[in-house]
Chains A and B, each alone.
Chain A
Amino acid sequence: MKKHLNTLFVTTEGAYLKKDGQAVVVSIEKQNRLRLPLHNLDGIVCLGNIMCSPALMGACARAGVSISFLTPYGGFIAAVNGYSPGNVLLRREQYRRADDPDSTLHIARHFVSAKIANSRSVLLRAARDSRDAESKSALQSTAKLMMRNIRAARNATTLDSLRGTEGESANTYFSVFNQMMSNRVKGMEFTFRSRRPPLDRINALLSFLYSMLTHDARSACEATGLDAAVGFLHRDRPGRPGLSLDLIEEFRAFLADRLVLSLLNRKQIQARDFDVTESGAVLLKEKPRKEVLAAYQKRKQDVITHPFLNEKTTVGLLVHLQARLLARYLRGDIDDYPPFVWR
């Protein structure tokens, strides 16, 4: 069983990462600040202008530690991974299924219905906690709509209609996003989902966390021996990790959205924690970014029981487990892919 290992985030501009023995050393202005054995790490995420020695990249590739280079705001630039592990037969099977419209639809249906089911659970959870009668009923009626969409997704006959259902659910879900916040502050309203660039503060937070999630899903695919680039719901596009994006659909609401809501409700993140650029793009400042990362890492260490495997795991390991379940399904070890549905 894979263990939940830690991720090292480097956010200090100009930091230099090097290898020393079997460990990574972070040095800032020629001073060694941190030294960590590689076997304690699952991945290294470099945000912003971080340098990395070739020797370290090699050692990480050998030790199975993935290194990702991201923009300061979480946009993905590049990753260093070693040889793809696992089985070429598994990857071939993945490609075959991805080329077959029926199989693709079958798998994509699971991703989408689980995504809608999990966002519905988030809505219902927020409705239970809400003190405002009006938001409560709005959330509950949206949850009802979502129930219909789950059925529509399960019975979708074409990929396009499935994507339509997904888009519609996302729209209705985000239309009541404001109602899920318990204390609404000026400047912290959600308008509509915008990305590249995010146009308001909440979108900036969401986008940032989704990137972190994608990084995790990508390493989960790599570690399982799946090709992170070939997805079922997401079509191939150069540079797009299609399968990682497929896998995170189940987790967006459960992990990222709920974390955003609790950060806002606890006032851990406030309006002054963002920069608004001239183009209208909204970006997280450096210090609150660290706070968000810490909250995300902490959340990943929470223990939950996996609904399908019925085993205790950490939240951070869930995406790895799902990648493995998908691989087992592709290999034919289990009859169907069980997506992660939060109860």
Chain B
Amino acid sequence: MYVLVTYDVSTIDKEGRKRLRQIAKICLNYGQRVQNSVFELLVDPAQWAECKAKLLEAYKPEEDSMRFYYLGANWHRRVEHAGAKPGVDISGPLII
């Protein structure tokens, strides 16, 4: 399945900046960064459960917020990109 993860992490203090880095790192391990705090993840349900648990462990509910959008298996027709830095289609041919 395809999951879109977005977050807002408070960065006024040092702790917050640390959380921001941690959360970004977790997302990077599971998917690709499409915008600064927006990630697209191609995961199976087990991997998603793992990733979600890590994310919910790392964030601070009083100050930060996380949003998960479930795009399902037919996500190709639900995602459109315009402008610079187009993402990579992880299920398409990967040739570099």
Contacts and interface: CB of A to CB of B under 8 A. Distances in A.
Interface string B1-40: 0000000000000000000000001001111110000000
Question: How many A residues touch the partner, as a band?
Answer: 20 to 34
Interface in B37-84: 42-44, 47
Contact of B29 (A26, A37, A290): A37
A71 B82 CA distance: 37
Given A39-B43, A40-B42, A9 B96 contact: yes
Contacts of B29: 21-23, 37
A3 interface: yes
Contacts of A22: 29-30
Interface stretch (A28-36, A100-108, A137-145, A335-343): A28-36
Contacts of B32: 35-37
B94 A9 contact: yes
Contacts, number: 61
A40 B33 CA distance: 15
Contacts of A194: none
Most chain B CB atoms below 10 A, which of A26, A37, A297, A298: A37
A10 interface: yes
Given A3-B44, A21-B25, A26-B96, A37 B31 contact: yes
A88 interface: no
Given A34-B96, A37-B30, 4 more contacts: A8-B94, A11-B95, A21-B29, A301-B91
A331 B82 CA distance: 53
12 contacts: A3-B44, A6-B90, A6-B94, A8-B94, A9-B93, A28-B96, A35-B28, A35-B33, A36-B88, A36-B94, A294-B95, A301-B91
